[in-house]
Chains A and B, each alone.
Chain A
Amino acid sequence: MSIILDISKVDMVFPTPKGDFTALKGVDLQIKKGEFISLIGHSGCGKSTVLNIVACLHKATKGGVLLNNKEVTEPGPERAVVFQNHSLLPWLSCYENIELAVKRVFKNEMTPAQMTQWIEHNLNLVHMDHAKDKRPDEISGGMKQRIGIARALAMKPKVLLMDEPFGALDALTRAHMQDSLMEIQQKLNNTVIMITHDVDEAVLLSDRIVMMTNGPAATIGEILDVNLPHPRDRLALAEDPEYNRLRSEVLTFLYEKQRKVEAIATPTKKQKQSDVA
């Protein structure tokens, strides 16, 4: 299969008041069409930064991103983003939130009737057709995230970018959302990059798991191929040896190789001396 997205030797340096901060160093990743990639790593390592560079919400200090062999320089709907805290516009209904995107992306390709149909189709896809006229503050967190996903899908993106889409949800809702996402992915076969800090979620959903080292100067540590057959069922997989092998590989990477050093737990030299004295 062809490479659709090429993240090529990306460095990211943030200028801060205390001097430059190198967040990413040499991040290099090629993604095939229809692949579901999850990006996992400890909090603060630079996952969102990678995603924002692909979306062009940040500009890489070095290197760049190629979509179908063309460098991307501006944000655009062909790289739709599902943000962590849904980011629906609170003054628009669910329907209107999606409509804003559809009108913008397909203004020359669809008639108004086709647009209406397309918006309702996407609402159906995430099982939210019953709440289309509600405002975001009238629906639950999981529902908001569904609308956020529907809005992104309605743009027919070449690459779908998701930044911890289920991070703010409770475990039960999260499992529901994962099942929904798998169902949608079976139908649409999108190219997806999803950030997560949930190991089960990564193994359940992905074709490849990209594991990032800790920052500063974070980069890709290991890449794990997930060759479990689709459709996947979370209950059946619980006893699958391959599933458990993959799961423990990710856990080993996160909690042994990239063990997060807790700054609070390690006393400084001065404190030690005073403890002794």
Chain B
Amino acid sequence: MTATLSKKTVGAQPMSIKALFTAFFTTKAKAIILPSVGIVCFLLFWSLAASSIDTSLGKFPGPSAVATQISNLIDEHNTEREKETAFYIRQEQRNQARMAKDPSYEPKTRAYTGKETFLDQIITSLLTVLSGFLLAAIIAIPLGIAIGLSKNLNMAINPIIQIFKPVSPLAWLPLVTMVVSAVYVSPEPLFAKSFINSLITVTLCSIWPMVINTSFGVASMNQDWVNVSKVLSLPKLVHIQKIVIPASIPAIFTGMRMSLGVAWMVLIAAEMLAQNPGLGKFVWDEFQNGSSQSLSRIMTAVIVIGLIGFMLDRTMLQLQKKLSWDKSSAQR
């Protein structure tokens, strides 16, 4: 703005340095430049700090070590996939050969049991966190609406919520593991037990922020809207569908974003603790492994965990922007 203005008024004279500067730093440019500056500064600080920290497993990994590990991990993933295809081809050939010799032979197929790569672990963790979160939402949102609508129900349930909310779900983990292995017995399980354990742990910690925010949103709904519904004498279910849910969508989303953030943190810890497949297990295995590469692989995992958490939150934000009428609550 300033730049174009001054250009017009000053005419042929060249722009001053200051005007150039302000033109350069329009809000849009700022949105790109400032975060980049922040990241570059962080990388510099990180590599400086890393080079001066010595551990029993060598130097603390800096940005370049992490970059090397990223390409290593992708290579390992590709090699593992090639091995897998090769295994199945060999198995098929073997079976065919035996069938040719002896037609009565029943071909046997075994599943490939290679080790899970970093990328596999990422997928596992993502699937676990999303399923656990979804299960929590299915329980928490209706429960939150019911609590928000009924003062009596709120009084009855509130103490339970207040007691269980501060419990770290990791404390539940041993109990969950024992109960799942006792109860979840089927000859051909649809899901692995470890998956169920992680999922329940994630669910247990995601429920509370969603219940609390939803019920708060419902209970603090604008009284005018309730009066509109009363004057229209909307039946209970229509009232919930047309008034209560839209009115509390902003609060529900706040709760969902909080839950998803907590869920992601808890999942990694649970995977480390229970040795359940996922990024947590990857970190723990590398730590136990204790090779010269371990630290840089763990550091890579740390950064990937952060990036995924960030991405999950942004996805929720986009969803909120799409679904919520209250655009101002979907800003940050």
B-binding residues in A (CB < 8 A): 55, 57, 74-77, 79-81, 83, 85, 87, 89-91, 100-101, 104-105, 135, 155
Contact = CB atoms under 8 A, between A and B. Distances in A.
Interface stretch (B14-22, B138-146, B227-235, B267-275): B227-235
B325 A81 contact: no
Nearest to A97: B228
A104 B231 CA distance: 11
Interface in B211-250: 222, 224-225, 227-228, 230-234, 238, 242-243, 246-247, 249
Nearest to A148: B228
B227 A83 contact: yes
A91 B231 contact: no
B233 A90 contact: no
Q: Is the interface of B mostly helix, strand, loop or mixed?
A: helix
A76 B233 CA distance: 6
A90 B249 CA distance: 12
Contacts of A75: 227, 230-231, 233
B230 A87 contact: no
A76 B249 CA distance: 27
A85 B224 contact: yes
Interface of B: 222, 224-225, 227-228, 230-234, 238, 242-243, 246-247, 249, 325-326
Given A83-B224, A105-B232, A90 B326 contact: yes
Contacts of B242: 100
B232 A87 contact: no
A77 B233 contact: yes
B239 to A, nearest CB: 11
A87 B326 contact: no
A104 B239 CA distance: 11
A155 B233 CA distance: 12
B224 A87 contact: yes
Given A75-B233, A101-B232, A91 B325 contact: yes
A91 B246 contact: yes
A100 B232 contact: yes
Given A83-B224, A135-B325, A89 B231 contact: no
Contact of B228 (A79, A87, A135): A87
A89 B243 contact: yes
- Among B230, B231, B233, B242: residue with most chain A CB under 10 A: B231
Nearest to B243: A89
A76 B231 contact: yes
B91 to A, nearest CB: 58
A5 to B, nearest CB: 16
26 contacts: A55-B231, A57-B230, A57-B231, A75-B227, A75-B230, A75-B233, A76-B233, A77-B231, A77-B233, A79-B231, A83-B224, A83-B228, A87-B224, A87-B225, A89-B228, A89-B243, A90-B325, A91-B247, A91-B249, A91-B325, A100-B232, A100-B242, A101-B232, A104-B232, A105-B232, A155-B232
B5 to A, nearest CB: 31
A23 B128 CA distance: 58
- Among A74, A91, A105: residue with most chain B CB under 10 A: A91
Given A100-B242, A135-B325, A89 B232 contact: no
A57 B230 CA distance: 8
Contacts of A74: 233
A64 B254 CA distance: 44
Contact of B232 (A57, A77, A90, A135): A77
A75 B242 CA distance: 18
A83 B228 CA distance: 9
Contact of B227 (A57, A105, A135, A155): A57
B246 A104 contact: no
Nearest to A77: B232
Given A85-B224, A91-B325, A80 B231 contact: yes
Given A83-B224, A104-B234, 20 more contacts: A55-B231, A57-B227, A57-B230, A75-B233, A77-B231, A77-B232, A77-B233, A81-B227, A81-B231, A87-B222, A87-B224, A89-B225, A89-B247, A90-B325, A90-B326, A91-B247, A91-B325, A104-B233, A104-B238, A105-B232
Nearest to B235: A104
Nearest to A152: B231
A236 B73 CA distance: 88
B293 to A, nearest CB: 53
A55 B233 CA distance: 11
Nearest to B327: A137
Contacts of B326: 90
Nearest to B233: A76
A207 to B, nearest CB: 24
Contacts of B246: 89, 91
Nearest to B324: A91
Q: Which 4 A-B pairs have the closest CB atoms?
A: A87-B224, A91-B325, A75-B230, A91-B246
Contacts of A79: 231
Contacts of A100: 232, 242
Contacts of B224: 83, 85, 87
Contacts of A81: 227, 231
A206 B260 CA distance: 58
A135 B326 CA distance: 11
Contacts of B325: 90-91, 135
